[in-house]
């Protein structure tokens, strides 16, 4: 793929901030974008100024939500270079999501090349502050300007990037989680395993309810039995039994196959923990929290990496986990994962792709 690099003029070149990044409100100066037309394929790839899209009000994505996205990060290493973490997995998942949503796939090599070129051009936007990173958001939207429920004949594929700080305002501290007894995020056979906007839209109502009740995330149960644990907020979830056994629900079709989840399973086993993928009944899990058999619970995802859960709220009762403190397994995995991501710890799994940006 030939990517045209559009030069930016002075007024389009903002200085990258050095701190106070927040999460998801700041964007670098440039973006990658390409177009798809049925019969022609992908064309007009370019990296140009970060700018608004002008779309017809009838554009199909606004009505039928045919869209997908990804989320990955670029990490500043202590030697000044930049690491991407398992970007190949994100590319694969992007295309799996595309297929589920009846969208065209992208060439994985080209897509990765677009990200590499964009990050290289915007390397000054990769923060050097510990814990801060450059968030990378590849997206594809259906752009046919016509009503009528069918797969679009036109698409835009673009990548935007921006510096982010900690996902949770409280940093690496336990979060309170609300277990929804009534609403479900996704169902087997539906779109839960795809990274598509509708899944997130469906989660907002309960997310707001949870916030009103004082919780920061929602634990989702399966939609068929209403009892098997699936995910927490926009993260996968793991339980630690007796300090040494890490268990996460299996990928049954309604759960997003998280790259952090996959890494926790590999890394956990490598660090000497027992790891397993098993169905977890919410009632049994809560009884195990009460008896002390479950010693830790944590969410895992790109944004927060590891997010310890301090308590669950379910049917007007609260269940405290590890005395609402960060547990040793969550801390261990967090340190190891962020260590590999930032190059502090040797990458023994070949997970990182380093971009030379050192001078």
Ligand X SMILES: Cc1ncc(COP(=O)(O)O)c(C=O)c1O
Distance, CA of 359 to CA of 357 (rounded, Å): 6
Question: How many residues sit close enough to ligand X to count as binding (CB under 6 A)?
Answer: 12
Which of 46/137 has CB closer to ligand X? 137
The string over 5-34, giving b where at least 16 C-beta atoms fall within 10 Å of a residue's C-beta and e elsewhere, is: eeebeeeeeeebeeeebebeebbbbbbbbb
In the chain, what is the straight-line distance between the N-terminal and C-terminal CA atoms, in Å? 27
Residues 276-315, mask of contacts with ligand X (x by CB under 6 A): -------------------------xx-------------
The residue within the footprint of ligand X, chosen from 17, 48, 49, 71 (CB under 6 A), is: 71
- Pick the piece of the chain touching ligand X (CB under 6 A) from 164-172, 253-261, 290-298, 336-344: 253-261
Q: How many helices (H) and strands (E) does the chain have?
A: 7, 18
Element (H, E) at 90: helix 87-100
Which of 186/357 has CB closer to ligand X? 186
Q: Phi and psi of 257, rounded to 5°?
A: -75, 90
Handedness of CA 191, 194, 198, 202 (dihedral sign): positive
Which of 116/251 has CB closer to ligand X? 251
Which of 285/337 has CB closer to ligand X? 337
Distance, CA of 88 to CA of 351 (rounded, Å): 9
- Pick the piece of the chain touching ligand X (CB under 6 A) from 126-134, 166-174, 256-264, 276-284: 256-264
Query: What is the closest distance, in whole angstroms, from the C-beta atom of residue 79 to ligand X in the complex?
Result: 25
Residue with tokens 């901030």: 17
67 binds ligand X (CB under 6 A): no
Within 231-250, which residues bind ligand X (CB under 6 A)? 231, 234-236
The residue within the footprint of ligand X, chosen from 82, 112, 161, 259 (CB under 6 A), is: 259
Distance, CA of 340 to CA of 352 (rounded, Å): 8
Token code pair at residue 342: 């930032």
Which of 30/261 has CB closer to ligand X? 261
Which of 28/337 has CB closer to ligand X? 337
Q: Residues in the site for ligand X, rule: CB under 6 A?
A: 71, 231, 234-236, 256, 258-261, 301-302
């Amino acid at each position: 793929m030939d990517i045209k690099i559009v030069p930016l003029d002075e007024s389009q070149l903002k200085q990258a901030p050095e701190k106070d990044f927040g999460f998801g409100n700041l964007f670098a100066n440039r973006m990658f974008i390409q177009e798809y037309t049925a019969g022609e394929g992908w064309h007009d790839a370019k990296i140009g100024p970060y700018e608004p899209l002008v779309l017809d009000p009838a554009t199909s994505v606004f009505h039928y939500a045919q869209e997908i996205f990804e989320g990955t990060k670029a990490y500043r290493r202590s030697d000044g270079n930049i690491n991407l973490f398992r970007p190949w997995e994100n590319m694969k998942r992007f295309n799996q999501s595309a297929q589920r949503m009846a969208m065209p796939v992208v060439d994985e090599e080209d897509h990765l090349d677009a990200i590499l070129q964009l990050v290289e051009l915007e390397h000054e936007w990769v923060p050097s502050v510990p814990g801060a990173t450059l968030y990378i958001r590849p997206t594809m939207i259906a752009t046919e300007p016509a009503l009528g429920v069918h797969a679009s004949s036109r698409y835009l594929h673009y990548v935007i990037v921006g510096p982010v700080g900690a996902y949770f305002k409280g940093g690496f501290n336990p979060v309170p989680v609300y277990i929804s007894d009534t609403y479900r995020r996704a169902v087997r056979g539906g779109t839960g395993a795809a990274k598509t906007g509708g899944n997130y839209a469906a989660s907002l109502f309960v997310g707001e309810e949870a916030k009103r009740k004082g919780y920061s995330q929602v634990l989702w149960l399966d939609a068929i039995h209403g009892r098997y644990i699936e995910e927490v907020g926009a993260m996968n979830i793991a339980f630690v039994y007796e300090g040494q056994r890490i268990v996460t629900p299996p990928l049954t079709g309604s759960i997003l196959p998280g790259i952090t989840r996959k890494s926790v399973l590999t890394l956990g086993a490598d660090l000497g923990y027992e790891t397993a993928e098993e169905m977890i009944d919410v009632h049994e899990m809560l009884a195990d929290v009460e008896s002390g058999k479950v010693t830790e619970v944590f969410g895992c995802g790109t944004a927060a990496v590891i997010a310890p859960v301090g308590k669950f709220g379910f049917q007007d009762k609260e269940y405290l986990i590890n005395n609402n403190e960060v547990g040793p397994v969550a801390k261990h995995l967090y340190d190891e994962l962020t260590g590999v991501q930032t190059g502090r710890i040797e990458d023994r799994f070949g997970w990182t792709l380093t971009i030379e940006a050192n001078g």
